Structure 1
């Protein structure tokens, strides 16, 4: 583009026609913007916008050079004041600049004779970071290249989130929401940002990081020109990396951040650190030598108050040492002291000589020469976290007694014990795998096996894999199809963000389509989920041996490299909570459908408790764990927390209470006692939620929750008023609905012995004329009784007092989901 103007509708292409430049609109808006987009991608994808906050109202806009050589956007043909300009410094006597769009997506203003560049769009990014774009700042002229989110998907104006290299201390990437830090990438390790473990693929990307007296910047390139990729900071504060799938003609997301609790900036407060694999299931812990400032908040899983020194006087007495944390994203490096010319050993000595030094680490720990440089912290530390397989060593100054605790009976000692146990387990599992392969090869050589699935690469025997010798009836053991990782990756578009259905304690869930057109749901074990591995083994162990029309059906699993996935049938109507807790969908559920769902869940629970060859306690029955198929048939899902009971066993106990607040029975929540009756309690909550369309956590004027509200109406004989008003009254018989309310109240009675079992519930639901016993006061409501007895355990209130709600009870070792 030389001196001619460019009107709305004209488009300039890069030399290889990879990118286009011109006017465009976003979504349904008629406002016109000037920018750059992919020309080779069928779905218009804008990568740069000029007039972000100053759109043109109609198609009268023009792009042309001003008399001073600036490229300008005007709202009209004869406009004199541009809505946007390149602001080139006016040093050209006779402007003769040209605008050129490169195949990398960079719009450049240059002198065609000398080739000198005067302005380029790569120096002014919007919300997209492209390959070969320089990101960072130069120290002399102050030019800072950073990303800013759009205001909304339909408005490319400046949004709330920015992403840039921090100018203070040791370089790191920071994402801000307004003035506040939202997420931190961690410092540069020599190969990647320490908080981005996934940034290791040298077969696709080539990363170059510069930190010298002139500039701090990073550039990433793609090794193959056929790869079309981009990184986007979206309007909700999520950084996402996409590649274009030419076959399916859509973008596939393969990385995003922040993604989990420990990614949130300063999640565990001052001097705390976040460990997603913490054995006590609370991810926050104080750094060695520190203790919670507000212990009462930490007991409620609120670590925002942070930690303080346990004994300040003993920090610099000549008797202290350093506790080592492994696989750490080191704390915020904005205020660290940096010396790139000393070794890590010299760094330790320097820190020890300075009483204000609280910790140290190497600057670069992933370089060919080993480790380089010294970082020292002075004062409070922020935003530390651990990883399973990445991160670096971090050394904290502690006194002698704390060091002994850390290396002996403290956290480090526990970690050493855990490491030893894990190593032992790994060795045992390797031996098991070798034995399994040997046995399987013998079997294959002795007889021809018929494949169980068109797309399953092989099968594995559950008892060989997980040594389920405690399961009865081994002779009936079934084989579970084992899918190849490549098959599942292709089915989910490489685990695309757009295919993601949700996430739970196990990890994310994706929708997929197999080559034969079958739709599947893929539960992918999160690499940071300590609970997830337990859930994985538990679900394979249980649900593969259970078959019922009201239980979700497992199709197979994938165990390859570091990946562990469960493959289920895909149910298009998602989960029950999607319908009953959203006004726009509740109206779709008339009473026959709701009654069918209640009966189906009841039959599924009866099968688990009584009719299957394994007695199963689900322990996490709730609306989001009930899936619905095309016919709205309910299917109970998520058996990661389930427990197997013996044939004559009726209850069990645990020190680690897991489940969901609002659905837990009182004896389980407070005493760790669980039984089939604790599942009955959860089922009762579910019945009442289905009838009312409200969550149990809803607070009412006369009660702290839904159950209390229903009980108050029941006692006043006004229970008809609780029925969901969005349900057409002509579709239901009031007596049948009230019978279900009655059954729900029987299920949520405070004493487990008063609750019916599921066989009684199914009988009551299936018979129209039946005399039901009067329900007693439900649990966790206003006016609850002073004692709860279940199988010999009790919970007594002080004389003359009554509890008012679930929140008045102190719970320990509880894992909410």
Structure 2
């Protein structure tokens, strides 16, 4: 009787939820889906229709489980554009798009936004039994989709969804939480795949990382021990030239399982229990204090299984950065190398940490051709290598593949079961202290002769030496005591002095302690980005002024000459479209430049981002093009010396609060004096896709080299596409594509789709014309920046017809792999397509 009542109540509730509903199979131009209709998949597993969440009258179109009694929405179309009436229709229009609109077509709430225009009416939308809503042309292969909801997840990952990056289209599928339980709008929590160093999954709250999966071990993620291959899932991780994706499949199709990023900031794996009529949690994260991203700071390791003691400890060979904070159970400042550590000498070895989530892969390198033995040897040969691990523990005994770490290691934690082994590099003394040591390389005779007597010299001698070293170092680095910049420089072989910087340069010299305090010890939270020359951190001075600190990597290609170059140049340049240098810091091996902080970061973060691109309307883009032109004009002709930037690109144009452009990064710039206007170098450094042909292939550079880069930048701003990532059958890059359209009088089709129709066609054509003139193959054919500025300002000027641009039908293969990174040897590079020719920088 009780069961009968439940069934009756369930039937009544479903009737009220979908009043007067009818079921259809497909959506077409002549058969739309109206409010009250339901589209049901062939196996009746999923349904699509109109719904209202609890406590609201807002209406949405979504997909939910058809066979689950508890309403469970897994995908929403109009997440940020609800409507309150019942007169909307979901239909396929004549362009082949699926559109949610008013009956009278007066307003569109959502569309698939497929850019290709279709001339026939054969397109249909169908809901598959996987929960995937697909759009296809009935006249061709129905398994080829022009659009699918699986490429645009809401807050749920379903079995069969490809989560990650499609390298061909550039689509990176991410999952975002709802704003609240009754508002499916895009919330503040984002779950996505990232590829710096090696593939990892991150959970973000806004721009802040709050949890990380760890690396892929072959069995699963090192930070998700519950993820095993012998349970209900069949997990596939694919990393090839076409894609980097993760796909979950359920072994038993009768089991309903989903992964959800909920509005409280948790990633959950849930499974439906029919007998209990509820979703049961299988796994979730973050779930303890050690899951919090970087909970124990750099070189720290978190162990939640310590009973009654602080969960943070330091990796072998390291000690707390702030013992007082450590005592108060605050490990956020992390650890540092022990005072007496003598790394990269005979006797170095490794201590094994078992069952851990390996450190953040952002500072790691992966070589899948090496085994574990070769991996250890590789790490030992490089003094900057601080640890290693197997790239795939599912392989033969000892693992397959090699991961090595360089720089700060953060976000390491232990598990009672799961994870993988991680090997931390230590010196000979530390290795001898660890009973769980893993030493692959025999201790040399030098260590037996020198190291062992030093260890056995006695406790008093060790204490005396340690105290003496601490006292000397504390005296040198005492916070608040200014250090002499000139004296520090004189102590460095091959360094330069303040005189080298220039007597008339008005630039502040910052103390190291000031920079450290401003950036919170170069906290990862304050890290704005990383390139081949080092990392950039946000900081805040005691007076409240925000700064950006460019901390040059000690292993980067930017050495003393580039450092002096940047200080000399930027300190003398004063223009509203050039980034302002506030000062610099030079202490021992540390070289840092302090700039004004620009909150909107680089231009590339807007024009190449589908979501943020809409923030730049045409008027603003036109102003940005003007601003960059004014900045280059100043460098080439209006400053006291003629300056060629040599590395102008979207990421080197920063945007201030009002989205005004400022040219930055003058490390590769060249100064010309007198009547000089051209030079030749054997040391060609730049970014593939922005370098002029005469510079890339012959080392010749002039103001026309910057003009070429400016032309590329103009075309990228208009199209929202990168020059070196646009490929078609007849065009290997954006230049070739625009040139083809220009010859066909179809240049306006290249305009970024995020602009819609809201742009001035005459201005856009003017900018495209100028851009093509700037990228002509012969440098003598290109206009000067004076001429460019005049063209952009005077719409009535008759522009010359352009000749064929450079790099249309060929790739730059002149002895250089276009996919190579900077030869600097750094962990990252200014751009993952930055190249060097003949000589490393």
TM-score, structure 1 as length reference: 0.49
